[in-house]
């Protein structure tokens, strides 16, 4: 399968660690120039160094620091990236909180970061893709968009909204050669998720045991019965970004380890 993205420029929001960093690496290895984004120049440079250390050609990497939840930060990051052919909205926040204790401010913050940052990035980059007759927009959603977790309903609701954002913009891009899709990521191992797991299980457990206990108690419906690795999410993203996925748009594609107990999303 030829996933060649040579000549394309990708922008991956929140790509200094975890799933975003894995996506940036896979896109670069497929030939794309990749704009690595984070809030600080230092974090972005550390990510670039890690990617080069993992074998990525430095000429395929662009430093694109900027807080994309803020107008000036978004503008600065996109200016560094240049003309974007592949937009990956990966930036997101999550955390456990009792449902009745989630404040208006917390609800608003999750909406701004998990939904509106993606909307603004799409609104800024999609017109150029449509004019050029080719483009890919990929929004990283979550199994929580479908199976709302009781311990973080604000997160689940924001990811449900992101599915609608994807479907709506796919309709806007109809017939232009631009595709818009969501990737539904299941429970995935990242540093942030490790901290989250220890909020829900005995923090004295070694990580291997804590992961098993978390899946047993809090994600028992997973058919993998383990946390997904970031590169497994990235593999789907690179395929959808490639020319081979030209007939896939308006969809919500699952990389959830069978977590969602449904034939369709």
Active-site residues, by number, are 155
C-alpha 110/C-alpha 105 separation (Å) is 9
Taking each helix axis from N to C terminus, what angle separates 191-200 and 18-29, rounded to the nearest 10 degrees? 150
C-alpha 239/C-alpha 4 separation (Å) is 10
């Amino acid at each position: 399968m030829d996933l060649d993205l040579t000549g394309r420029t990708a922008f991956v929001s929140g790509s200094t660690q975890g799933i975003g960093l894995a996506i940036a690496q896979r896109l670069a290895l497929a030939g794309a120039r990749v704009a690595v984004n984070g809030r600080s120049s230092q974090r972005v440079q550390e990510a670039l160094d890690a990617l080069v250390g993992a074998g990525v050609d430095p000429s395929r990497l662009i430093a694109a620091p900027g807080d994309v939840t803020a107008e000036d930060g978004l503008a600065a990051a996109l200016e560094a990236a240049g003309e974007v052919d592949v937009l990956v909205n990966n930036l997101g926040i999550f955390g456990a909180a009792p449902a009745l204790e989630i404040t208006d401010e917390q609800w608003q913050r999750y909406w701004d970061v998990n939904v509106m940052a993606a909307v603004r990035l799409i609104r800024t980059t999609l017109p150029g893709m449509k004019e050029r007759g080719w483009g890919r927009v990929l929004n990283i959603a979550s199994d929580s968009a479908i199976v709302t977790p009781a311990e973080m309903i604000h997160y689940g609701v924001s990811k449900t909204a992101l599915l609608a954002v994807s479907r709506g913009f796919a309709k806007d891009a109809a017939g232009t050669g631009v595709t818009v899709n969501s990737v539904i990521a299941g429970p995935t191992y990242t540093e942030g998720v490790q901290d989250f797991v220890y909020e829900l299980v005995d923090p004295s457990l070694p990580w291997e045991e804590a992961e098993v206990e978390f899946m047993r108690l809090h994600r028992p419906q997973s058919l993998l019965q383990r946390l997904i690795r970031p590169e497994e999410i990235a593999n789907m993203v690179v395929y959808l970004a490639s020319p081979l996925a030209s007939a896939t748009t308006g969809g919500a594609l699952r990389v959830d380890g069978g977590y969602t107990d449904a034939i369709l999303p």
